[in-house]
Amino acid sequence: MINAIKSLAAFTWRSRMKNAGVIVFAAIALIPAIISFIAIQYADKAIGNPADFLREYIVPINVYFTLPFIALFLTLPTVASLYEKGAIAYIFTRPVPRWACVSGLLVGSILSAIPLLLLAALAPSLVFGIFRPESFGEVMSLGFMHSLLLILSVIPYSALCLLFAIWSKKPLLWAAFFLFFWGTVVGSLPGEAKMWSLHHYVMGLAKSMCGIEKVATGLLPPSATPPSNWLSVLVLMAGTAVMLYLAQLSAKKRDVY
């Protein structure tokens, strides 16, 4: 089973990272660094503490946009292509438990996302560290915490995308709805509904790990009463386990031929 997980993880990683599309993903991951560079060039005097700029602009951009985008478009195409080409039948008819196959696809998606998320988190900090060397230690420390936040968060996000990729023939609509609308929008609004959004718990970690207190635009601000670190990690990891379980159940019911 371990070999099956490794093989499928390696296949998923190769299919994403050796594809020309990775250039597009890398360009998107660099958007926060480009924004940081432009801000330094044209509004340097208005930036008091570079770390505060990263907290108010860059971390929210990555959590609200870069993270779900990368999870979405690294996970869905691989699984969709397996179904379209009929290769999924070969995978699911091997003498290997379905959960192992599903886990391998998930691990490969996560491993593919990590380099891009590190780029999105560390490059902006490095830009400020180079052009504002007095802030190097603070911004790089924030960059490492920012990286850890994104890596932890991409695990349940990728599991959600994998579930929809296996369960539905139109996974993009479902995944986009739950990551961007239900996640980012509903997960930032007052009320009890946000408790059912992964984004709410990601932002809870963002507040404690990166020190986010507000979003520069004022739109979809962090919750005034965020969940604790332990609760956030528990919900994100438990959510991952539940989605993996549902994905392997869906794999058994969906026609693979």
Give the pLDDT score at 1. 66
Taking the complete model, does pTM exceed 0.85, yes or no? Answer: yes
Give the pLDDT score at 217. 62
Confidence of residue 218 (pLDDT cuts 50, 70, 90): low
Residue 132, domain extent: 2-253
Q: What is the spatial distance between Cα 169 and Cα 146, in angstroms, rounded to a whole number?
A: 34
Query: What are the tens digits of pLDDT across the range 92-108?
Result: 777 777 788 888 899 99
CA torsion angle 189 195 196 199 (round to 10): 60
Tell me which of 2-16, 157-171, 239-253 is least confident: 2-16
Confidence of residue 187 (pLDDT cuts 50, 70, 90): low
Pick the residue with more confidence: 242 or 77?
Answer: 242
Query: What are the tens digits of pLDDT across the range 50-89?
Result: 999 999 999 999 999 999 999 998 888 888 887 777 777 6
Q: Number of structural domains, the chain? A: 1
